[in-house]
Amino acid sequence: MKLTIENPGVGRTDLLFFPAILIFVYTQLFSLPFTPIYFDGDTLVPVSNAMRIVRGEVIYRDFFHFISPGADLYYAGLFRLFGERIWIINVTILLLTMAQVGLLWFFSKRLLTGIIAFLPPLIFLVLGFRQFSIDGSYRLMGLVFALSAAAILVERRSSPRLFLAGLFCALASFFQQPRGILAVLGIAAFLLWENYFDGFNFRSLLRSSAVLFSSFLFFALLTHGYFIWSAGAENFGYAMFGYIGTSYRADPFNNNTAYLSDLFVMVESVRSTGSFFSAAARTALISGFYYLLVPYVYLVLIAVLWVRRRALDAKIFKTLVLLGLLGIFLAIGVSAPTITRVFHVAAPAIVIFVWLCSQWRPSGRLLTPALAALCVIAGAMIVQRQTSQKDYLEMPAGKAAFLYRPAYEKYRWIGENTTPGEALYEPHHPNFYFPFHLINPTPLFNVRDSGYTPATQVEAVVRSLETSRPRLIIWPTMWSKSPSERASDDNLEPLWQFLQMNYVPIHTIPKYDDPSQSMYGDSEVWQLKH
């Protein structure tokens, strides 16, 4: 007997589920009642860029970036409305998380019955969200639009829906250019497969593909056109395509060598401490789960669909193929498969994993107990987050709660030794510009001791520093090398020479105890010589 799920509606349980999820997510991002918890990371890249846009700088012309401008403009717009405040980031993460939960729920309701449809969103939230997805950057913004494009097409593939799917893929590209391109290719692959599955009609395939791609191209040009004009086609083209093709992958964490690297660090941390019940051990187990899930769940899905191609309801079959193809194409687009980036594209795989488990009776019996266990863990996570020790710091961007004492001490020192509006340079990562309203005097948000940062960009940084002379520079000590110690593609020597000639070290920021956060070792604060 074929299982069919016809037009699943919104029931009473659904109406209770989403407020409960909202409470869970809110309590992971805010210390009650309203104090935002401070999270640094890649979110601070578009945030610091947005500050520059608000000051009147032009992206790609006045400062370098190699990602589409959607996230930068989003934050710039909110900063103009509300000021440069920390809570804006946390509310953004809240909205992005709820959107992902909603999309997981949407796909689950079309493949799973009963309360098991809530299992994929709970797996996402309890196993991975807190470790890998507290992120308000362009990656998740693009992902939400890519998943939304597929959701539009689940019920029907009419021309209006294909037009909207193309629009959503273009919006995904506006936040992260590969994400939207791969999403539209994944949908196109599904259209090709479905046309063949239904008997192959070339004219129908041509028409549907034309609607999808014309919509995508039109809105992609529309959203990017202003920036091509304002920054210049040459600057825009190098940022979007040239730099990625020549320099981006020179960083070890921006290519396939990153695969499993962070898992090895976590396992080594657990082994060295001997604590198999620590947060690091839990993170290592969760990481291992997602490294197995993506991409291997898609191989299992292909085998199951082939074996059961005649037994499955056509609507469920097509939904699985659409979700599987989208997940495969999104996974292909992960430039560096670290666990964080793998988790970001794992939503289709999570839904497929639960569906596969539901099809095998022994594992299917475990799904309801697993759902109950995750609910209990979620409740414990709320209590733990709200009762854990926190340090509170008042910064120019607002008051924030810090979960990790060494991070609080680092930010407290910067706050006590800087003044809002002054220039400061931190070449490794833009941690301090936003919370303390400081100015990056160079055209780059970061540099690396590899071909990731070409010599011409290092020269541009040095020229900017020679002109602006910021009082403080935050320098990773592992970049303090003699010319003979530098790798052949390490171009930082002129910057290091400039630092030694014009600055003196005054303070050391020790590395974090967490090995996954301390790969760059200690940092030193260097002060301008008088």
**Domain coverage including residue 453:** 409-414+421-528
- Same-domain status, 239 and 351: yes
Q: Could you tell me if residue 438 is inside a domain?
A: yes
The whole-number pLDDT of residue 1 equals 42
Does the residue 5 lie in any domain? Answer: no
- For 443-489, write each residue's pLDDT tens digit: 999 999 999 999 999 999 999 999 999 999 999 999 999 999 999 89
Residue the block writes with tokens 């760059």: 520
- Specify whether 339 is located in the same domain as 486: no
CA distance 378 to 21: 9
pLDDT of residue 335: 78
Place of tokens 């070409």: 454
Q: What is the pLDDT of residue 353?
A: 96
Looking at the structure, do residues 91 and 186 belong to the same domain, yes or no?
A: yes
Please tell me the predicted confidence (pLDDT) of residue 193.
94
List the one residue out of 467, 447, 472 whose CA is nearest residue 457: 447
Residue 375 and residue 431 in one domain: no
pLDDT of residue 157: 92
**Is residue 4 included in any domain, yes or no?**
no
Q: Answer yes or no: is 400 within a domain.
A: no
The number of domains in the chain is 2
Distance CA 187, CA 394 (A): 47
| 189 located within any domain | yes
Residues 316 and 249 in one domain: yes
| DSSP tally for the chain: helices H, then strands E | 23, 8
Position 393 in a domain: no
On whether the CB atoms of residues 139 and 42 are closer than 8 A, the answer is yes
**For residue 5, what is the DSSP state?**
-
Nearest to 212 by CA among 288, 282, 160: 160
**Per-residue pLDDT tens digits for 93-122:** 999 999 999 999 999 999 999 999 999 999
Q: Are both 369 and 425 inside the same structural domain?
A: no
Task: Report if pTM > 0.85.
Answer: yes
Has residue 43 been placed in a domain?
Answer: yes
Mean pLDDT, each 10-residue run in order, the chain (530 residues): 58 88 97 95 94 95 93 97 97 97 96 93 94 91 96 94 97 93 96 91 93 96 93 91 85 72 67 64 84 92 90 90 95 83 93 93 87 96 95 97 93 96 95 96 94 94 96 94 91 96 94 59 90
Determine the Cα–Cα distance for residues 2 and 24; give it in Å rounded to an integer: 36
